[in-house]
Amino acid sequence: MRQEAGKKGGPGKWAFVAVMCFLAAAGAAGCGDSQKQQELRLQGIEQLDGGDYEEAIRSFEEALALSSKVVGEFELDILKYRAEAECRAGDYGAAAYTYEVLLQVDKEREEYQTRICNLHILAGQLDQALEEYSKLQEAGSAGGETAQILLALGQALTQQGRFDEAMGLYEQAVEGGMKNGEIYNRMAVCKLEEGDIDLALQYLEEGVKTGDRSVMGSLLLNQAAAYEKKLDFARALTILEQYTAAYGANEQVQKEIDFLRSR
């Protein structure tokens, strides 16, 4: 946890105060926007705009520390600026916590919930991200960002070797009607990593059937790689030639084609 301004990895001390004060005095107007607070807020904004993110966080936290025991619009505004500064500083875990505070004191704002999930993914806090994603799914509140969050979380899980959990997310999405080429491509990648080539090929074929042009090149490359793993060099070569006809051949693809032709 960040126990004082400037340290990374957790909430600032104001975060705890903000929640407690709001619960004790919900509905009351903030009264802490003194001249000093205003100056610290403006100073923090200037530091934020100038790229001095750590100093901006300090300024915002100093402003919050001068507040009364009530969360008002002024405090909410500073918390939002602090979250932005933490994001720009790359302290995604701290930013996620700040948005968790905002979620409690600024009502159930959908944008906060999705940002929290995305920030946990960026911070590599995948267990927390999974919890937040489940909340979004249960509430049905992720809206148009559902697919982006799903893909980012699934990719992060795959990179950590958590293939079963990634597959669980993808399967749930497909069952819910999210049947696009990228979903099938990601499912295939998971199965290729696990060594289940036949099932990977089934998912790739489903992906190709969607006709999703945005991911078709990747689907074809993964198909070729899967057939090569099965030692079906002729089929792999045919697919790569299909790929080059549509997208051209880079150096890596051409080397693979030359290799397959030599088999």
Is residue 165 a part of any domain in this protein?
no
Q: CB of 60 within 8 A of CB of 82?
A: yes
Residue 138, pLDDT score: 80
Tens of pLDDT, residue by residue over 112-138, are 989 999 999 999 999 999 999 998 888
Q: What angle is formed at CA 191 by the lines to CA 189 and CA 197, rounded to 5 degrees?
A: 105
Residue 20, pLDDT score: 40
Residue 244, pLDDT score: 96
Residue 1, pLDDT score: 32
Kindly report the number of other CB atoms within 10 A of residue 213's CB atom: 9
Is residue 18 a part of any domain in this protein?
yes
Report the chain's mean pLDDT, rounded to a whole number: 86
Residue 14, pLDDT score: 41
Euclidean distance between CA atoms 251 and 51, whole angstroms? 39
Q: CB of 220 within 8 A of CB of 242?
A: yes
Note every long-range contact of 103-111, with CB atoms under 8 Å and residues 24 or more positions apart, other chains counting.
Answer: 104/19, 104/22, 105/18, 105/19, 105/22, 105/71, 105/76, 105/79, 106/76, 110/141, 110/142, 110/143
Total residue length of the chain: 263
Is residue 185 a part of any domain in this protein?
no
- pTM value is 0.77
The letter for the amino acid at 31 is C
Is residue 227 a part of any domain in this protein?
no
Residue 144, pLDDT score: 62
- Domain of 92 in residue numbering reads as 1-107
B/e letters for 17-52, b = 16+ CB within 10 Å, e = fewer, are bbbebbeeeeeeebebbeeebeebbebbbebbeeeb
Q: Identify the segments of the chain with pLDDT beneath 70.
A: 1-33, 69-70, 108, 140-144
112 CB-near residues (< 8 Å, 6+ apart)? 99, 100, 102, 103, 106
Closest CA to 150 of 165, 161, 111: 165
The CATH number that applies at residue 58 is 1.25.40
Is residue 176 a part of any domain in this protein?
no
Instruction: Enter the tokens of residue 23.
Output: 């619960």
Domain count, the chain: 1
Q: Is 108 helix (H, G, I), strand (E, B) or coil?
A: coil
Q: What are phi and psi of 81, to 5 degrees?
A: -65, -40
Is residue 121 a part of any domain in this protein?
no
The letter for the amino acid at 248 is G
Is residue 23 a part of any domain in this protein?
yes
Is residue 38 a part of any domain in this protein?
yes
